[in-house]
């Protein structure tokens, strides 16, 4: 019997839900399927699997470095079948352009990939947001169907059928599908990314309850936080995913100039996110559940008190 595993990284539960539905679909197709969080899997344990699925959110137009690191540690899996999946807001970006070739480079045969538009808790987005309400039942059904399709394709390829391995579109063809807004809009809004890259988190020692609380240390995908010394350290591997800042139970993690970030992000909303989501909607690849008049342009998410959500990974 075909043996499969679905591995996922998730912060707010979207990728976890999609992963669970893919896993269900795989089981329904009669394959033996496991499901596991990225942090619980050692790449050397994957040798017994015939089909390996890997999924995560799109963060900063790509995968987070914990996912990249995991892929590059997947050695000795030559010829095994794999698939990639991701969840995201308005900008799927370079996710598949990076992850699919990286998996192939490790010797895996990538037999499919699929993305889902899902709700977002990015600090500077309006709330409600364009993609809120997803994943819904229709998305989950699509995920189950994708799981089934991956099993069927994998079986057929192992049985010797040729011509079933898809090729990821490249360059302009890729951009047409996953980055449909003109490159100028990315250029004009790059000020936000520049400011974000310079963000330095600080710990308010009066609010922080370390060592009784190690929430930020335990949940940081990059293992970038060290509070054991006299001065808290956020190492260079911090990818500014904002998870610690958004979920600290006591709001003890602080940043400097929030207003500059908010202002720069407003430009990004109008020039990039809105255009992008409208393009996907017009193409029929995104189903809007929140009407435009309900988008909370005056209600920026970071104004909500912390913790802003519970980690669900």
Ligand X SMILES: Cc1cc2nc3c(=O)[nH]c(=O)nc-3n(C[C@H](O)[C@H](O)[C@H](O)COP(=O)(O)O)c2cc1C
For 39, phi then psi, to 5°, come to -65, -20
Q: Which one, 164 or 197, has the nearer CB to ligand X?
A: 197
**How buried is residue 310: exposed, middle or buried, by Cβ count under 10 Å (0-12/13-18/19+)?**
exposed
Whole-number Cα distances in Å, 129 to 121, 126, 272, 295: 9, 6, 14, 6
- Which positions touch ligand X (CB under 6 A)? 10-16, 57-61, 87-93, 118, 120-122, 241-242
Rounded Cα–Cα distance for residues 241 and 250 (Å): 18
Q: Which one, 158 or 174, has the nearer CB to ligand X?
A: 174
> Whole-number minimum distance, CB 107 to ligand X, in Å?
27
Is the separation of the CB atoms in 244 and 216 below 8 Å?
yes
Q: Considering only CA atoms, which of 128, 65, 117 is closest in space to residue 93?
A: 117
Q: For residue 229, count other CB atoms closer than 10 A to its CB.
A: 7
Q: Which one, 14 or 66, has the nearer CB to ligand X?
A: 14
Q: Which one, 29 or 58, has the nearer CB to ligand X?
A: 58
> Whole-number minimum distance, CB 15 to ligand X, in Å?
3
Q: Residue 259, SS3? A: helix
> Whole-number minimum distance, CB 304 to ligand X, in Å?
13
Q: For residue 138, count other CB atoms closer than 10 A to its CB.
A: 11
> Whole-number minimum distance, CB 276 to ligand X, in Å?
8
Q: Which one, 122 or 155, has the nearer CB to ligand X?
A: 122
> Whole-number minimum distance, CB 94 to ligand X, in Å?
9
Structure tokens at 138: 């229709």
């Amino acid at each position: 019997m075909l043996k499969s595993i679905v591995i996922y990284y998730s912060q707010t539960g979207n990728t976890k839900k999609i992963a669970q539905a893919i896993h269900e679909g795989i089981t329904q197709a009669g394959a033996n399927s496991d499901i596991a969080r990225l942090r619980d899997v050692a790449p050397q344990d994957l040798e017994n699997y015939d089909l390996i699925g890997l999924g995560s959110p799109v963060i900063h137009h790509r995968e987070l470095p914990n996912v990249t690191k995991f892929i590059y540690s997947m050695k000795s899996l030559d010829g095994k079948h794999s698939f990639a999946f991701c969840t995201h807001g308005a900008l799927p970006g370079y996710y598949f352009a990076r992850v699919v070739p990286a998996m192939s480079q490790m010797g895996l045969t990538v037999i499919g990939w699929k993305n889902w538009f899902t709700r977002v808790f990015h600090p500077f987005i309006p709330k409600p947001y364009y993609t809120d309400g997803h994943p819904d039942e229709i998305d989950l059904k699509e995920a189950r169907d994708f799981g089934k399709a991956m099993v069927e394709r994998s079986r057929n390829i192992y049985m010797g059928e040729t011509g079933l391995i898809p090729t990821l579109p490249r360059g302009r063809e890729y951009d047409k599908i996953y980055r449909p807004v003109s490159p100028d809009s990315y250029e004009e809004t790059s000020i936000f990314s520049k400011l974000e890259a310079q963000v330095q988190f600080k710990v308010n020692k009066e609010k922080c309850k370390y060592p009784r609380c190690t929430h930020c240390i335990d949940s940081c995908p990059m293992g970038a936080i060290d509070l054991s010394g006299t001065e808290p350290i956020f190492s260079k591997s911090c990818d500014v995913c904002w998870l610690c800042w958004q979920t600290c139970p006591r709001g003890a993690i602080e940043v400097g100039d929030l207003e500059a970030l908010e202002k720069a992000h407003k430009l990004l909303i109008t020039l990039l996110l809105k255009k992008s989501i409208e393009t996907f909607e017009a193409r029929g690849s995104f189903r809007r559940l929140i009407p435009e008049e309900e988008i909370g342009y005056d209600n920026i998410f970071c104004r909500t008190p912390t913790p802003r959500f519970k980690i669900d990974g």
